[in-house]
Structure 1
Amino acid sequence: MTEINEAAVEKPVAAVNAIEEEKPKFQWRVVDNHSPPEIYNWRLYLCIAVFGLLGSLRGVDEGNTASTSLPSFRAKFGLDDPNKSEGAISNLTSNIKSMVQLGSILGALISTFSVDKLGRVKSLQLACVLMVVAAVIQMTSKNIGQLYAGRFLEGALSVGLTVAIGPPYMSEVTPKAIRGMAGCVFAGAVYFGIMISYFAVYGCVTTISDDSNLQWITPLCVKIIVPGVILVGSFFAIESPRWLIKTGKNEEALKALARLRNLSESHPFIIGEITDITESVHQELEAKKYNSFLGLFTKLVRVKSLRYRFFALGCMVQILGQWSGANSITIYAADLFAFSGIKGNDQLKMTAILGVVKFVAAYLGAFFVIDFIGRRKTMYLGLAFQGLSILYFALFLVIVPEAANEDTILVGSKFRASQGAMAALYLGGVGWVIGFNSLQYLIGSEIFPLNIRTFAQSLIMVLHFANQYGNSKAVAKMLIALKPYGTFFLFVAVNVISLAWAWFFIPELSGRSLESMEEMFNLPWYQIGRNGPKLCPDHSEINKMDYSKGTLRYLDEKPSEEFYEDGVKVERRFSEEKEDDDE
């Protein structure tokens, strides 16, 4: 533990003199002048790794949906039945692929209470164990009903809970300077899971006989291995100090925070941060009447600042994100590569490469984009990549429709256009993981007060899985009714709308403490997205500390004199020091 020398702590100085002003310049590393360097330590990164890898549970399943292309799977569950119509087979395929999303709707509802009741670490452990149980049910499936049951339970008891465990934990334990990166570790892990499942499926189709059930059962082993690794790592994780304070375990919270920050319990930084957290929690716990499900939901609807956060940000990011086309590319990747002219087992190979591209892009975005250029610019960048790529693919489907025919061999400019279409699917995936995929997990875990954070995030994830379920069911029918090109032109329109929404509604949250959000969201709704951070700077206790010169200095920065509870100004938080007090 690091003890601080009183001689190293300078007297408060004027904010304008505390840090020499420099022209802003871009740096490929996060600069945190308000925190001691010890807080970035192996314990913190271990916790980020364990809870971040939790996101891969969902990805493992999404990648495994490529198994519906395996000959043994199709024969086992009737996808090659000549007596079934094209519509019936499409409906059966979409049912299989979407059953986890359907179960996850229930799982997200369950998580509104279970995650706060059990804590972040125990909830993670439970989700991992239940994932293994659901995988075993699927591996032993004798008929389509048992397969449905296993996949539904996987969503309801595991995948649906992960999104209410990982992102909130990340936001609660990580320093504000790297909170975006930590949130993106979870989002990126989704594509780690997709990648390894894609390769497992591709490996099995090329090495195991088509008439062996092991061809489709073997890839399911990933659903046992990955949660097993996370479960072992969870025994070394540290519980969220914010959750411990919320449940009245103040001494445990102080010890947990000191361990996470690698500082002594008496260090000024620990005292400042625990003060911010405790004050915020105590204010929120005063609203005892909102403890019921109906009361919490009523609060989301009636309180102005929460209403904006829930509907304009949390809900819209899920609706627009799920219908922007990227989720369809992930789930129906093999079919879409067929539309671009890829034949046979090469469809699965290209799908596996798509998993690699998304995985690499997700972590490049996490480590080198989200906390460097901010949330808003990251969204602009991601939407531009995604929208233009999908537009190219849609135009290709109009100009070269024959590429989807099994017996067509493309040559000349049409062949080069087909290569461009394949690249467009990859680039669209890059845009998605940098933009929407990062924001859909991160924003809900950042913007809500602690007393309603898990509840609000869970409801947002209910909407997430409901849209994903509807999307995975609808796209199979849209590709028939609207034709492939019409479906993708619809996705282009959603991307354009999303760009306008991001410009107007999303405030820049990079570098803000969780306890500094309330004042900003009490501004008039039309000012929050465009001017919120400028009008309401971060006045948390740790933001008054300066470590830029290697020693602790306090900034004599006058903070806001009032704080808000449920949109109402209720009392002075800081007393004003007047010069005539000593006269």
Structure 2
Amino acid sequence: MEIQESQIKKTVKTEDIEKNVEYLEPEKPRFSWKIVDNHSPPEIYNWTLYMSIFVFGILGAARGLDEGNAAGISVQPSFQNQFGLNDPTKSADELANLKSNIKAMVQVGSIGGAIIATFLVDWVGRVRSMQLVCIGWAVSVIIQMTSKSVGQLYAGRLLEGILAVGLTTTVGPTYISEVTPKAIRGLTNCIFAGAVYLGVMLSYLANYGTAVNIAPTNNAQWLLPTSIKLMFAVLIFLLSFPFCVESPRWYIKVGKTDDAVKALTKLRKLSPTHPYLIGEIADITEQVEQEKAARAGTTMWGLSYELIRSPSLAYRFFVLCALIQLLGQWSGANSVTIYAPELFGLSGIKGVETLKMTAILGVVKFVCAYFSAFFVIDFLGRRKALYLGISIQLVSLLIFALFLVIVPEAAETEDSSELTPSQLRASKLAMAAIYTSGIGWVSGFNSMQYLIGSEVFPLHIRSFAQSLIMVLHFANQYGNSKALPKMLLTMKPYGTFFFFVAVNAISLAWAWFFIPEVSGRSLESMEELFSLPWYQIGRKGHILCPDHSEVNKIDYSKGKFRYLEKPETEMIENASRVSEDKDED
């Protein structure tokens, strides 16, 4: 049975509630290491939903595979021979420039890819966008693997950014936020963020394995790790057909209400007339209709102007999302990921051992990313998770900076065995600091840089704003990738890391004052929160503006359909009669 548009505003039918309805006072949320969702029927947590989220989630590996691959192959002798990274005729400045160009070329392309995503995800939908990304990704990787010159390598890496990596950071988080029940939205978005470090880990391990087992003169030493990107592109493309269901919110946005109901029925495993499903469709449709009426005829330039003109949207874009990208990318984490072998070299590790330590870093980040997804982001909340992550990162980078000041000899030795016992112990502490800085990053900024942007914007501007946020993301990442080799030369390694420490200190103060707690809120309830005065949103927003969406008023905790507060009369057929019947009982 299909739902017609005339039915959407009727959240619950009389026969669905007469026997079971109860009106309750909302319970205060309680901390628990297990997600307790009393607002949803258990059927909505099902394998159709999980598999669709999983496929979009592993799309996050695209960025990580590139970052890990760029970090590893750049120190492989075969790659250096192929592209002139060990040319004795080049100065240190020229070699630093060549290395940074190779590593940063994907970030340059990703700026264009994020702009393309602004149109693509709303034009063809979320699922079709992902499939096009996989095709572009495969083509760009093949161009890289067949490169005989730096020019062709640049072209392949530029295209990888434009056609794949830049698009994934809009397509993945947008889809996941739109289809996920609010109780686990943080967790599922962290699956995407965590997949970045699945890619980093696999690339690090592959580079270490080929460095140990393949001769330095054999190009397979860098081609095999690069081929993992091609494997992922093909795998995700094939999995998208049987497992992915298009976003119901996108269907409603483009006027396909019946398709939206069918898609949501598949994702929630509920009847089209189930009260929960009708309530969710009602929330989405009401928001879309209000926005269409208010924003009729709005162009891309109009949306850009709206981000500036509207105080509510300006706060979300400039104060939250733009600063997350700026502070996060200059907090030092990106430098650690892309230049990990070189940084381990500063702590006294040399040769293939740097790739071994880098591989361990990949494993640490991967494990901690998913630990954070399952046990931190939705349990501690967005604010506390960010405080914790930034604090760990700040202390870790401070330890590493102090090590570089106290033991400068570590960077100059050919082997860590040349260090004195005390210097060797300090070297191990410095390596541990690099690992713990990664732990702080994946549980703090890395999760938030994708999650917040996909949560806080209204539907009519969500994909546009998320794309602009990713433009800022890759612009800052490009600047950081290009700048780090020069920073290490001009500011000295210790000065560079003291700079990162200062950025983290500023970030901690910013997060405390400006970041609102949005854990457990429906996407349709964000407008109330951001209508508060700017100085109240971060500190008191979640207290002053609780979630009043329809799906948040439903309770299933005792196997019965109950309302946490009495619904408005117009939202329920014969609501007054049901209330009278309850009084008679």
Runs of at least 5 residues in structure 1 that lack an aligned partner in the other structure: 562-571
8 Å CA contact 1:9, 1:553 repeated in 2: no
Q: Distance in 2 between matches of 1:121 and 1:7?
A: 36
Q: The residue matched to 1:372 in structure 2 has which SS? A: coil
Q: How far did residue 555 of structure 1 move?
A: 2.2
Match of 2:7 in 1: none
1:35 equivalent in alignment to 2:45:
no
Name the amino acid aligned to 1:447: V
Residue of structure 2 in register with 1:450 after alignment: 459
User: SS where residue 381 of structure 2 aligns?
Assistant: helix
Q: CA deviation at 1:324?
A: 0.3
Aligned to 1:568: none
Asked if residue 412 in structure 1 is aligned to residue 410 in structure 2, the reply is: no
Provide the rounded CA distance (Å) in 1 between the counterparts of 2:480 and 2:369.
Answer: 22
Tell whether 2:236 aligns with 1:227. no
Q: Specify the alignment match of 1:195 in structure 2.
A: 201
Q: Which residue of 2 aligns with 1:395?
A: 402
RMSD: 2.0
Change (3 A) 1:532 1:96: same
Shift of 1:6: 3.9
Give the match for residue 64 of structure 2.
59
Question: Is the 1:135–1:224 contact (alpha carbons within 8 Å) kept by the matching residues of 2?
Answer: yes
Match of 2:317 in 1: 310
Pairing 1:7-22 to 2, within 5 Å after superposition: 10-15=20-25
Change (3 A) 1:545 1:7: closer
Over residues 353-411 of structure 1, what are the superposed CA-to-partner deviations in whole Å (9 max), with x where a residue is unaligned?
A: 11110000000000011000100000011011111000000000000000011336113
Candidates 511, 514, 522, aligned match of 1:513: 522
| Paired position in structure 2 for 1:564 | none
The TM-score with structure 1 as length reference comes to 0.93
* Equivalent position of 2:6 in the other structure: none
Does residue 482 (structure 1) correspond to residue 487 (structure 2)? The answer is no
2:350 touches 2:414 (CA, 8 Å); kept in 1? no
Listed one character per residue, the Cα deviations across residues 480-500 of structure 1 (whole Å, up to 9, x for unaligned) are 000000000000000010001
Asked if the contact 2:17/2:561 (under 8 Å) is kept, the reply is no
Tell me what 2:82 maps to.
76
- Distance, in Å, in 2 between the alignment partners of 1:573 and 1:456 is 32
- Larger deviation: 199-208 or 366-375? 199-208
CA distance in 2, matches of 1:312, 1:126: 33
* Separation (CA, whole Å) in 1 of partners of 2:297 and 2:208: 50
Are residue 380 (structure 1) and residue 390 (structure 2) matched?
Answer: no
1:451 & 1:573 partners in 2: Cα distance?
Answer: 24
1:52-201 equivalences under 5 Å are 52-65=57-70, 66-201=72-207
1:333 has 2:343 as partner: no
- Three-state SS of the structure 1 residue aligned to 2:325 is helix
CA-CA distance at 1:14 after TM superposition: 4.0
- Residue in 1 aligned with 2:444? 435
Question: One-letter code of the match for 1:40?
Answer: Y
2:21 alignment partner, SS class: strand
For 1:566, the equivalent position in structure 2 comes to: none
Give the equivalent residue in structure 1 for 2:49: 44
Structure 1: how far apart are the matches of 2:193 and 2:207? 22
Judging changes above 3 Å, is the alpha-carbon distance between structure 1 residues 573 and 326 closer, same or farther for their aligned structure 2 residues?
Answer: farther
Contact 1:127-1:161 within 8 A present in 2 as well: yes
How far the C-alpha of 1:133 sits from its partner, in A, is 0.3
SS at match of 1:15: coil
Q: How far apart in 2 are the matches of 1:196 and 1:271?
A: 43
Pick the aligned partner of 1:499 from 508, 529, 554. Answer: 508
Aligned mate of 2:31, from 26, 29, 46: 26
Cα distance in 1 for partners of 2:571, 2:531 equals: 16
**Does the CA contact (< 8 Å) of 1:48 and 1:170 recur in 2?**
yes
Whole-angstrom CA distance in 2 between matches of 1:393 and 1:457: 34
Paired residues in the alignment total 560
Q: Helix, strand or coil for the counterpart of 1:265?
A: coil
Structure 1 residues 111 and 9, CA gap change in structure 2 (3 angstroms): farther
Q: CA deviation at 1:291?
A: 3.2
Return the offset for 1:573. 10
* 1:206 aligns to 2:198 (yes or no): no
SS class of match (2:187): helix
Contact residue 8 and residue 552 of structure 1 kept, 8 A: no
Aligned equivalent of 2:474, options 456, 465, 472: 465
Which amino acid is 1:94 matched to?
S
TM-score using structure 2 length:
0.93
Matched AA of 2:520: G
- Cα distance in 1 between the residues matched to 2:277 and 2:24: 23
Deviations 1:59-79 (A, max 9, x none): 111011120100011111111
Instruction: Return the alpha-carbon distance in structure 1 between the equivalents of residues 458 and 312 of structure 2.
Output: 11
Cα distance between partner residues in 1 of 2:211 and 2:147: 19
**Structure 2: gaps (5+ residues):** 2-11, 581-585
**SS at the partner of 2:548?**
coil
The answer (yes or no) to whether the contact 1:63–1:194 under 8 Å persists in 2 is: yes
Give the conservation status (yes or no) of the 8 Å contact 2:16–2:275: no
The CA deviation at 1:232 is: 1.4
1:324 and 2:324 are equivalent in the alignment: no
Q: Deviations over 1:219-275 (max 9, x none)?
A: 111011111111111112000000000011100100110110111110000000000
Percent of paired sites with the same residue: 62
Q: Distance in 1 between matches of 2:339 and 2:282?
A: 49
Are the aligned partners of 2:107 and 2:475 in contact in 1 as well (CA < 8 Å)? yes
Do structure 1's residue 286 and structure 2's residue 293 form an aligned pair? yes
Report the CA distance shift for 1:384/1:544 in structure 2 as closer, same or farther (over 3 A): same
Local SS of the residue matching 2:546:
coil
Residues 401-410 or 197-206, more deviating: 401-410
Question: Are the structure 2 counterparts of residues 518 and 110 from structure 1 closer, same or farther at C-alpha, using a change threshold of 3 Å?
Answer: same
- 2 CA distance for matches of 1:507 and 1:334? 37
Rate the CA distance shift 1:328–1:12 in 2: closer, same or farther, 3 A: same
The answer (yes or no) to whether the contact 1:290–1:296 under 8 Å persists in 2 is no
The answer to whether the 8 A contact 1:337-1:422 is kept is yes
